[in-house]
Structure 1
């Protein structure tokens, strides 16, 4: 029972609602059945957390990429303006 309580309390705010319901349903099972299911539940909870962390990392990387692209576009436009100014000076 301590394991399921740990799962329910430590990651309740991080787990999806349907997984929280599963944890509570498993807590209500008899000890023998719970002991068989707990290792599987632990793996599901771990993989859910891992997927959430990966998704967060991907979202952060995409945000950084978008920002980098904006900086590059700004730099490209500035370079083009400078090039055009130098061309005008050379033609004069």
Structure 2
């Protein structure tokens, strides 16, 4: 069972799941099939959650950058407003 996963895919899985695969591989054949189905669902779920987490982290990083740009723009707008008020007040 463990040999079916390419090495790069093993690197992305938590150690506990890899250990679980080794335990399943040690089971008698009649139990391996049922356990392998459940194992594959768990692996798919872990990969999906990691992918979603990566997307969320990217979105948060972009949001932080956007906020920085907006804060800069707001500060410049306030400065321009204050300068114009000062010029009009003279």
TM-score, normalization: structure 2? Answer: 0.92
Higher mean C-alpha displacement, 10-19 vs 50-59: 10-19
Gaps of 5+ in 1: none
Q: Is the aligned partner of 1:55 residue 2:14? A: no
Q: What is the RMSD computed on CA atoms of the aligned residues? A: 1.4
- Relative distance call for 1:19 and 1:8 in structure 2 (3 A) is farther
| CA apart distance, 1:9 | 3.6
- Relative distance call for 1:57 and 1:65 in structure 2 (3 A) is same
CA distance in 2, matches of 1:8, 1:23: 13
CA distance in 1, matches of 2:5, 2:48: 15
CA distance in 2, matches of 1:22, 1:8: 16
| CA apart distance, 1:57 | 0.6
| CA apart distance, 1:83 | 0.4
CA distance in 2, matches of 1:10, 1:33: 27
CA contact (8 A) 1:8 1:24 kept: no
CA distance in 2, matches of 1:45, 1:8: 13
| CA apart distance, 1:10 | 5.1
Gaps of 5+ in 2: none
TM-score, normalization: structure 1? Answer: 0.90
